[in-house]
Amino acid sequence: MTELLHTADALHRLERAGRRAVVMTMGALHEGHATLVRTARELAGPAGQVVVTVFVNPLQFGAGEDLDRYPRTLDADLVIARDAGADVVFAPAVDEVYPGGDPQVRVSAGPMGGRLEGATRPGHFDGMLTVVAKLLHLTRPDLALFGQKDAQQLALIRRMVTDLNFPVQVVGVPTVREEDGLALSSRNRYLSAAERTTALALSRALFAGRDRLAAQAALRARAEAAPATDERATALARLGEIRASADAHAVSVACGGLPDAVRAAARHVLDDAARSEPPLVLDYLALVDPQDFTEAGPEFTGQAVLAVAAKVGTTRLIDNIPLEFGAHS
């Protein structure tokens, strides 16, 4: 039986034998949240405790954003949390989290918090980190799980936990997608049928970038592995692919760094969607270093995040995928 609690005192009175894992949400739970809860259940183990928080945080909504419109579906949330394995749903009121009103002291997201989502939504990440810090104190977990769909949020939470010495392990859980590729989001319910069709361009763009990376990396590897002299032509001739390999070499040189090729492939899909009806209105497309969310340069190697944000109609959506850029000569 999943307990519904509204105060931190009630939560603190609960017995806890094993590890406590927390999943923080703003409600309107869907399969993406359920996946987080199921993962928390596995990590906490049968003796552990899984807590799902449901709190619509006013601090992370800017002027003109959808705080009042944001769906509140606590009864349905309880069912989803219970079925996924939660022991407790902690749904505090605003004055439980902010007993003195809007807090005068807040967590600053720093330089990373001003990039991408932070540039579009000033103050959003300060509000997000402030409530995450408070909920970590209120719930006192050993583990805290967050979805990788909100990649910048996850990176900032990890940075805060490290920089401010929070005694909690942060776990990122891969993005959950619908069958057509659209990343699960509470905001998807706002999309009309036509808008949803346009919105699929976000995931298609990311997948196009991923596929370009794989293709370009293969072309580059093949070109670099082949001899650079007459021996090269002889070796390729034996494989019956003189023209293809010559083209591969030309492409690997002409396209410059792989990051630029990845961006170009994703941008092509988004440009097409901008001409759809209804159109996709791009906010940003970025390929970034997940450590600080600065743009990856032409010769970048290592882990990166390809991220996109756009509006379709009045609904703003975000998505991203992780990519790995190998070293090359």
The residues that are catalytic are 33
Nearest to 298 by CA among 258, 255, 254: 258
Residue 279 CB-half CA count within 13 A: 7
CB 80 within 8 A of CB 41: no
Site of tokens 């259940």: 41
Strand order in the sheet with 169-173: 3-5, 88-90, 49-54, 20-25, 143-147, 169-173
Please give the torsion angle defined by the CA atoms of residues 201, 153, 114 and 70, in that order, rounded to the nearest 10 degrees.
70
Strand 88-90 and strand 49-54: the pairing is: parallel
Site of tokens 């807040």: 106
Q: Which residues contact 146 (CB under 8 A, 6 or more apart)?
A: 24, 36, 153, 154, 157, 170, 171, 172, 173
Which helix or strand (DSSP H or E) is residue 173 part of?
Answer: strand 169-173
| Coil, strand or helix at 114 | helix
**DSSP string covering 210-259:** HHHHHHHHHHHHHHHHS-SSHHHHHHHHHHT-HHHHHHHHHHHHHT-SHH
